[in-house]
Amino acid sequence: MTWANKKTQTLQCKQGAVRAVRFNVDGNYCLTCGSDKSVKLWNPLRGLHLKTYSGHGYEVLDAQSSGDNSHICSGGMDKTVVLFDVSTGQAIRKYRDHAGTVNCVSFNEESTLILSGSLDCSIRTWDVRSRKNQPIQVLDEAKDSVTFVQVSDHEILSGSADSRIRRYDLRIGRMFTDFVGKPVSCVNFTRDGQCVLVSAQDTSIKLFDKDTGEMLNEYTGLKNSNYKIESCLNQSDTHILSGSEDGKIYVWDLVEAKLCDTLDHETSRAVHSISHHPSQPAVLSACGDNVSVWESNSEAGDVS
């Protein structure tokens, strides 16, 4: 089994509804964003709660840790983007320029920038290094709420509720807009950076060629009609995982688009946020008020 298929831990987050769960860069820790205005740091594989970060004024919707694990950025319904210091738990910066709920945040690769997508149809880029409170640039090309932002070394990828994904290529200075047809809930680069995985409010997830915008594959079966369901790729780009509104995680083979497995949470609640370990077959999924940790049941065998 190359994908996670066994639930090994359940983190009782005790922070209300868990809005998002994110692995850190090396996959040893994870962050959960709760509706009780807090961000929590966990060791998911051992189920340890390490620290709570508070400083938001309303529900936290997304968080990401920086590449050196020293900072955490988070955005929430209080329209702010907050930068936390990991060790002290203090909020170092609060960026208040968005006019609406911040749906998603992302560091750039060097963690010198924070990009935040918001309900106000814009992505704002914040310079972590300076003390300015104004964004460097506002990418307001979206016509509807920006739901997801991803960053590669020279690209900014955003999904929006206007059914488009936008890719800003900083090297060549162009913006590519692809119409997907349905409001986009999640976009992801594949790990090789050649393709884009798009979750829209549809019964399928689509894999697009990054350069041409053509659809390479389609993964059907899930249910995504109301929520911001996230999808991700596994550590080696061989499988595609997605949450669903029927309380399951769907796992497809990337090439064959065949449904390999469904990880049932035994609940009717939507599994809306998932995050894959960067190097191991382990997945975190947020459902309701707790986070499930899924690992491959043959992992021990692999190690031995």
Interacting residue ranges for other proteins, rule: CB under 8 A: 10, 12, 14, 47-52, 87-89, 108-110, 112-113, 125, 127, 129, 136-141, 153-154, 163, 168-182, 206, 208, 212-215, 218, 265-267, 269, 288-290, 292
CB of 291 to other proteins, least distance (A): 11
CB of 281 to other proteins, least distance (A): 21
Closest-CA residue to 67 (of 29, 130, 25, 113) = 25
**Beta carbon of residue 4, minimum distance to other proteins (angstroms, whole number):** 17
CB of residue 43 to other proteins, shortest distance in Å: 9
What CA–CA distance (Å, rounded) separates 3 from 236?
Answer: 10
| Distance in Å, CB of 200 to other proteins, minimum | 9
CB 165, min distance to other proteins, A: 10
Task: Give 224 or 235: the residue with its C-beta nearer to other proteins.
Answer: 224
